[in-house]
Amino acid sequence: MGKQKTKKGVAKRVKLTKSGKVKRHQAFTSHLMARRDRKRKRNLRQARILVGKHGKNMAACLHG
């Protein structure tokens, strides 16, 4: 049986931490940022951790 391939679309968008959690960046930050207040823009800069079933599915895609 052959090896399972890494899903390249997922690999470009998320990273695994040392403990195995899936880290992603926040969406809605590419343009139209002038209308958003400082607090919201500051919070959008932070990375997020995928939790639950969605995070496990993404981690499985990366474990090619």
Domain ranges of the chain: 8-62
Q: Which CATH class is domain 8-62?
A: few secondary structures
Please report, to the nearest 10 degrees, the dihedral formed by the alpha carbons of residues 27, 56, 54, 43 taken in order.
Answer: -30
Stated pTM of the model:
0.78
Residue ranges of the chain with per-residue pLDDT less than 70: 64
Note the pLDDT of residue 3. 86
Note the pLDDT of residue 7. 94
Per-residue pLDDT tens for 25-41? 999 999 999 999 999 99
